[in-house]
A and B are shown apart, each in its own frame.
Chain A
């Protein structure tokens, strides 16, 4: 059974820092991996989708990488801003991690 784990569970950084969120999965036979953002009490907003044949995807200050062989993905956020404060979740089809709660302090 596929398990998805995210480390750390929570992260607090000062504004302007670059940061990395980690996601690991136990079964490397995945079609894709998706990163989401969730604000309190809201639904999920898709950030990046990496297909199994891809190594990384970039959108603005966000960069996500995928290493299927090691069962890992990372989400890199450059020059963090207070508006980036949210919970970030990674998912493979049908299976989600518990998320990393990010706080960016002004």
Chain B
């Protein structure tokens, strides 16, 4: 059935390492998004992509990188430059960038050890 799949569910990273979070959708959506959620706070936009091979920085892009080589996939790399990466990461997609409904994956919890 259609939806958004994030993997892994839990991820542990040593300081200084880069890690990549996976996000795949089979909804044929053009737009995809990455958000970060910290305890007691709302979601903050990291990166978004409105079309294949194009993406834009959100509010907190520093220390993160993305790619959009395929319509279905929008992986997020948390680099060693991100000083406080421990958080809950959520991926979303929508048919268009503005006036359509957004759907979310189940999230990846990243912990720095």
Partners in one complex: yes
Residues of A near any B CB (own CB < 8 A):
4, 31-32, 34, 36, 41-46, 49, 51-52, 89, 91, 93-99
Assess the A94–B48 pair: CB atoms within 8 A.
yes
Assess the B107–A43 pair: CB atoms within 8 A.
yes
Cα–Cα distance between A36 and B43 once the two chains are bound (Å): 12
Task: Among B6, B97, B101, B107, point to the contact of A34 (Cβ < 8 A).
Answer: B101
Nearest-CB residue, chain B, relative to A1: B59
Assess the A96–B107 pair: CB atoms within 8 A.
no
Cα–Cα distance between A96 and B37 once the two chains are bound (Å): 10
Minimum CB–CB distance from A33 to chain B (whole Å) comes to 11
Cα–Cα distance between A44 and B42 once the two chains are bound (Å): 12
Assess the B99–A44 pair: CB atoms within 8 A.
no
Assess the B104–A44 pair: CB atoms within 8 A.
yes
Nearest-CB residue, chain A, relative to B96: A31
Assess the A98–B41 pair: CB atoms within 8 A.
yes
Cα–Cα distance between A42 and B106 once the two chains are bound (Å): 5
* 28 interchain pairs, CB-CB under 8 A: A4-B42, A31-B98, A31-B99, A32-B98, A32-B99, A32-B100, A34-B101, A34-B102, A36-B104, A41-B109, A42-B106, A42-B107, A43-B6, A43-B105, A43-B107, A44-B104, A46-B101, A46-B103, A46-B104, A51-B99, A89-B42, A91-B102, A95-B45, A96-B43, A98-B40, A98-B41, A98-B42, A99-B42
Residues of B near any A CB (own CB < 8 A):
6, 33, 35, 40-45, 48, 58, 88, 90, 92, 97-107, 109
Cα–Cα distance between A45 and B102 once the two chains are bound (Å): 9
Cα–Cα distance between A97 and B41 once the two chains are bound (Å): 8
Residues of B contacting A96 in the complex (Cβ-Cβ under 8 angstroms): 35, 42-44
Residues of B contacting A52 in the complex (Cβ-Cβ under 8 angstroms): 99
Given contacts A34-B102, A91-B102, A96-B44, 7 further A-B contacts (CB under 8 A): A42-B106, A44-B92, A51-B99, A96-B42, A97-B42, A98-B40, A99-B42
